[in-house]
A and B are shown apart, each in its own frame.
Chain A
């Protein structure tokens, strides 16, 4: 990306491959059911992607730095639910912004707690996140409340129907692109800028490439971990609040089954599970692919009894394409290593 646009490099990139997968999927579904090619499908797919995009953007820097975290979903659930129960008790009747502020602040602190444990006690990121995953969900159920809550403040009612654009769909009637798409877009841009244009962001890649060398080169690895975990906590909280207002209820165990879906989207988008690589564009495409696969089933009329099987097959097929590419790259690397090490 030095101003020189290299077509060959673009074609070789993971992003391009995943884009082709998305294109292929869409064309296939569209061929079976032309209703797929409607503005409302586009809006619906984007809407169901919003929250996953935000979660994935928050998690991406940690994955690039070589960490696997699953606690972000628990942070999302706890911060959003606790904020709601707190404001409900205060008789809060205002808008959604205060939710974002309180939950976001709590999310940052929860993320920093992870960072503290990881850097201070040199604990593996995954171990810390596993503990935090259990702890935050347990905390939510035990101390905050165990039941879904449907009573939203007056100022927030109708938030689920604020659209950037609306269009008349011949089949569905009115359809709109929800305003939180802009939120996801903005957050994605921030992370893109952070990863590409800040020294801290480059440090994230450096840590993922070789943590030891990153320390030796003079990167402030501790600070970087605090920043990326803070981002993760903030983004998780934003995702939790957004999901609650889109679906109009607060669920104390929201996302509990989904950390791996988010991780899968990031990996599908070209990030290495061992760290060092990954991009915002790839992650975005990865989330969209998974969302489109989920939609494919109803639109193509695959019998419900077959759904799980088909999802599994599709996921294996499409995740193996980038994986095969990596394998090939590795094989080539392997042979060269053999000859080099003579």
Chain B
């Protein structure tokens, strides 16, 4: 009897797979490249690489996010346009250690360039340095605070401070420029998130004296955490009027809590997100404005910078990378010494224009 159960369970699993697999091919991204185990075998590409094809890897915080799958389309487009073998990899969950392990294996495979989107910037520094030391071009994204020598360049869709200030302006307007607000960041070690929020706060202190800052909370990049946190915030600070979210799930979690308390008209929720995450909540008004940059263009630009460095081209202030939003880049030295390239590539998404951004 047990044998037949076993057989039955195997059959059921196969049935489920069969049912799901085509679905996935038509609806979402092709699985190739999203799965660590399907990364190109170590030996083959390296053999060919030297003369013929360049191999560029893009490493992201986690492949389980639509955000990064959108980035992958940019990476693939870059590969096609520039004739480079470009692919994306990342842990199945956000985890610096797993990310470092992936980069380690890329070093071992001998790729030509890595574009890294680190979960924790400091945690990724040593392995980035190691990659550079092995002759690999390493360009970061969302890593402007990296230490000198751990990245060739960091590419940002925009100057973090401007983005944070923009977010603050949007929220403050919706709050009537007064009341209490809170902030969410994905992780306290995430440089970009914290820079946005700290600049937003500084901007408010200068320009909106009636805004009152409560606290900055960590969502651990998990919208369930943001949801539960928001619920407690509503209790502890019943007069909260504004929420800023840094990670893509932050406003979703917070928005759900607000919607369930039927407070969507009382609280302004503004933050980084994308339609596939926040779509429903944008429609109901629980999330007022999602701000983003198109991860596809960011992924594209990151790889372009790596390509130019590899080819020995000089990156200069004001130059055109040939990517939308990066036509006139700003080049500055980051706080910890890494040269940072800024575009001006943010987008604002609300209930009216959300259909223009299918990611």
Interface residues of A (CB under 8 A from B): 33, 35-36, 38, 40-41, 44, 48, 82-83, 85-86, 88-89, 105-106, 109-110, 112-113, 116, 119-120, 137-139, 141-148, 150, 160-161, 169-176, 222, 226, 243, 247-249, 251-253, 256-257, 294-295, 298-299, 301, 303-305, 307
B69 on interface, CB distance cutoff 8 Å: yes
B85 on interface, CB distance cutoff 8 Å: no
A–B complex contacts, Cβ < 8 Å, 30 sampled: A35-B238, A36-B235, A40-B234, A44-B228, A86-B20, A86-B23, A110-B9, A110-B13, A112-B9, A138-B37, A141-B35, A142-B37, A143-B17, A144-B17, A144-B24, A147-B69, A148-B277, A171-B238, A172-B231, A172-B263, A173-B262, A174-B262, A226-B2, A247-B224, A252-B64, A295-B232, A298-B232, A299-B235, A299-B236, A305-B188
For B227-256 the 0/1 string (1 means CB < 8 A from A) is 111011111101000000000000000001
Determine if B23 and A89 form an interchain contact, defined as CB atoms under 8 angstroms apart. Answer: yes
Chain A min CB distance to B313 (Å): 35
Question: Chain A residue with minimal CB distance to B234?
Answer: A172
Question: Chain A residue with minimal CB distance to B90?
Answer: A146
Question: Chain B residue with minimal CB distance to A295?
Answer: B232
Determine if A148 and B65 form an interchain contact, defined as CB atoms under 8 angstroms apart. Answer: yes
Chain B min CB distance to A233 (Å): 9
Chain A min CB distance to B99 (Å): 15
Interface residues of B (CB under 8 A from A): 2, 5-6, 8-9, 12-13, 16-17, 19-24, 27-29, 31, 34-35, 37-38, 63-66, 69, 92-93, 188, 215-218, 223-224, 227-229, 231-236, 238, 256, 260-263, 276-277, 279-280
Determine if A160 and B260 form an interchain contact, defined as CB atoms under 8 angstroms apart. Answer: yes
CB-defined contacts of A88 to chain B, threshold 8 Å: 23
CB-defined contacts of A33 to chain B, threshold 8 Å: 236
Distance in angstroms between the alpha carbons of A161 and B35 in the assembled complex: 36
CB-defined contacts of B227 to chain A, threshold 8 Å: 247
Determine if B20 and A35 form an interchain contact, defined as CB atoms under 8 angstroms apart. Answer: no
Most chain A CB inside 10 Å of its own CB: which residue of B28, B93, B260, B280? B260
CB-defined contacts of B20 to chain A, threshold 8 Å: 82, 85-86, 89, 143-145
Distance in angstroms between the alpha carbons of A253 and B222 in the assembled complex: 11
Determine if B233 and A298 form an interchain contact, defined as CB atoms under 8 angstroms apart. Answer: yes
Distance in angstroms between the alpha carbons of A105 and B230 in the assembled complex: 35
Question: Chain A residue with minimal CB distance to B70?
Answer: A147
CB-defined contacts of A174 to chain B, threshold 8 Å: 261-262
CB-defined contacts of A41 to chain B, threshold 8 Å: 232, 235
Chain A min CB distance to B327 (Å): 31
Determine if A116 and B6 form an interchain contact, defined as CB atoms under 8 angstroms apart. Answer: yes
Distance in angstroms between the alpha carbons of A172 and B257 in the assembled complex: 10
Distance in angstroms between the alpha carbons of A256 and B69 in the assembled complex: 20
Determine if B232 and A147 form an interchain contact, defined as CB atoms under 8 angstroms apart. Answer: no
Question: Chain B residue with minimal CB distance to A257?
Answer: B93
Distance in angstroms between the alpha carbons of A305 and B194 in the assembled complex: 12
Q: Is the interface of A mostly helix, strand, loop or mixed?
A: helix
Distance in angstroms between the alpha carbons of A252 and B216 in the assembled complex: 28
**Given A143-B20, A150-B280, A161-B260, do A304 and B31 touch, yes or no (CB 8 Å)?**
no
CB-defined contacts of A249 to chain B, threshold 8 Å: 223
**Given A88-B23, A295-B228, A301-B236, do A147 and B5 touch, yes or no (CB 8 Å)?**
no
Determine if B8 and A150 form an interchain contact, defined as CB atoms under 8 angstroms apart. Answer: no
Distance in angstroms between the alpha carbons of A137 and B260 in the assembled complex: 31
Chain A min CB distance to B225 (Å): 9
Determine if B260 and A298 form an interchain contact, defined as CB atoms under 8 angstroms apart. Answer: no
**Given A109-B9, A147-B28, A147-B66, do A171 and B23 touch, yes or no (CB 8 Å)?**
no
Distance in angstroms between the alpha carbons of A110 and B12 in the assembled complex: 10
Distance in angstroms between the alpha carbons of A44 and B6 in the assembled complex: 40
Determine if A113 and B93 form an interchain contact, defined as CB atoms under 8 angstroms apart. Answer: no
Distance in angstroms between the alpha carbons of A147 and B23 in the assembled complex: 13
Distance in angstroms between the alpha carbons of A144 and B27 in the assembled complex: 12
Question: Chain A residue with minimal CB distance to B218?
Answer: A304
Question: Chain B residue with minimal CB distance to A51?
Answer: B224
